[in-house]
């Protein structure tokens, strides 16, 4: 059997198999070298601090593949300036392997404006600051919502929540200054409901309930307003609700309904009386008494025995004086007669 193993034919086959295996391995490595450009390396050029356009020209001339990437904006460097290269300049990379070039962007990365409309102003300021925005001027405009954000402005143009603006942008905030006090209610009678709503909104009042001539709720914008509450020209505060009555008819044709509504909503109005009119029969309470008449009547009651009697004593003779002095002494035992004589003297 050993003789059969050492047969020249067997040895020849083994030798051929080894040669084929070695040849396949050699061809495989040669193919890998060719496919991966093994041994062909390119030095990374130094493009740091160059502008992006200039760096691209240098990399293209060197035959280096590259990928551009932007870092966070750094105001210390110029916009579109190359800040970093990976691998570092001077390193050798295989042909075709891309290098990363990091560039300073032209401005800050954009952020989304948060939802701050109708939010209290100080809470809105905090939300804007948290996302990286700066609060600029605070502008006040007439509005019912006091200290609430009405709108946002950026570079003179209005922006809305959800819009993108550069980070650290200055946002101006428009805030409501609150309702005014003691302003006249606008006249809406004769206008359509659609026009009435716009007038109420423009004057910073609140649209209330809308009724027809039968006191039923209506919403037809073409109906004509024939009555409003509060009345036109009355003094009220902005933000007060204004109720309207509308009909397809003109206000002149709704005279009876207007009188009915006046009895309901205008019954407490105080009638104006002329200064010279002294007739107070229309009032429920009697007129106040004049203060001139009662005062002189009350004063002589207290001062009569002291002032009037001494004056008469000075004018009369001494005899009469003694008589007046003796009478009260003799009549001291009759206290009931004294008030009668005093009353007679007062009347005289």
pLDDT at 290: 55
Select the highest-mean-pLDDT range: 6-15, 27-36, 139-148, 224-233: 224-233
Task: Give pLDDT, residue 269.
Answer: 56
The phi, psi pair for 120, rounded to 5°, reads -55, 140
Q: Which helix (H) or strand (E) element contains residue 236?
A: strand 235-236
pLDDT at 144 over 60: yes
Q: How far apart are CA 225 and CA 242, in angstroms?
A: 12
Provide the pLDDT for residue 282: 43
Confidence bin at 211 (pLDDT 50/70/90): very high
Judged against a pLDDT cut of 60, whether residue 241 lies above it is answered with yes
Entry pTM: 0.45
312-334 burial, b at 16+ Cβ within 10 Å, e below that, comes to eeeeeeeeeeeeeeeeeeeeeee
Query: Mean pLDDT over all residues of the chain?
Result: 78
Please give the pLDDT value at position 284. 47
Which phi and psi (to 5°) does residue 70 adopt? -110, 135
pLDDT tens column, 163-207 = 999 888 999 999 998 888 899 999 999 999 999 999 998 888 989
Beta-carbon contacts of residue 343 (< 8 Å; ≥ 6 apart): none
pLDDT per residue as tens digits for the range 19-67:
888 888 888 777 766 655 555 778 889 999 999 889 889 988 888 888 8
For the ranges 10-14, 119-123, 254-258, the lowest mean pLDDT is seen at 10-14
What's the average model confidence in pLDDT over 64-87? 85
C-alpha distances (whole Å) from 141 to each of 67, 160, 193, 279 are 51, 18, 26, 51
């Amino acid at each position: 059997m050993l003789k059969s193993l050492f047969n020249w034919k067997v040895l020849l086959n083994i030798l051929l198999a080894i040669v084929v295996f070695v040849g396949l391995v050699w061809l495989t490595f040669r193919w890998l070298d060719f496919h991966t450009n093994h041994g062909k390396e390119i030095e990374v050029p130094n493009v740091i601090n160059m502008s992006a356009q200039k760096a691209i020209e240098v990399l293209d001339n060197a035959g280096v593949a590259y990928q551009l990437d932007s870092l966070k904006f750094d105001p210390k460097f110029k916009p579109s300036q190359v800040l970093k290269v990976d691998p570092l300049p001077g390193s050798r990379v295989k042909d075709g392997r891309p290098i990363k070039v990091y560039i300073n962007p032209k401005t800050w990365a954009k952020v989304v404006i948060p939802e701050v409309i109708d939010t209290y102003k100080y809470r809105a300021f905090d939300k804007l600051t948290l996302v990286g925005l700066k609060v600029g001027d605070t502008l006040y405009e007439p509005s019912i919502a006091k200290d609430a954000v009405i709108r946002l402005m950026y570079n003179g143009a209005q922006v809305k929540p959800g819009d993108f603006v550069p980070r650290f942008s200055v946002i101006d905030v428009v805030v409501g200054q609150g309702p005014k006090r003691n302003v006249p209610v606008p006249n809406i009678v004769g206008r359509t409901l659609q026009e009435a709503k716009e007038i109420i909104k423009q004057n910073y009042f609140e649209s209330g309930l809308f009724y027809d001539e039968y006191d039923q709720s209506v919403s037809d914008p073409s109906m004509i307003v024939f009555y409003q509450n509060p009345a036109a020209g009355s003094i009220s505060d902005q933000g007060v609700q204004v109720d309207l009555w509308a009909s397809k008819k003109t206000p002149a044709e709704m005279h009876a309904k207007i009188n009915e509504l006046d009895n309901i909503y205008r019954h407490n109005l105080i009638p104006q009386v002329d200064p010279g009119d002294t007739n107070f029969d229309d009032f429920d309470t009697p007129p106040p008494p004049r203060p001139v008449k009662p005062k002189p009547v009350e004063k002589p009651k207290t001062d009569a025995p002291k002032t009037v009697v001494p004056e008469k004593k000075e004018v009369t003779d001494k005899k009469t004086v003694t008589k007046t002095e003796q009478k009260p002494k003799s009549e001291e035992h009759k206290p009931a007669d004294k008030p009668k004589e005093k009353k007679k003297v007062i009347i005289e």
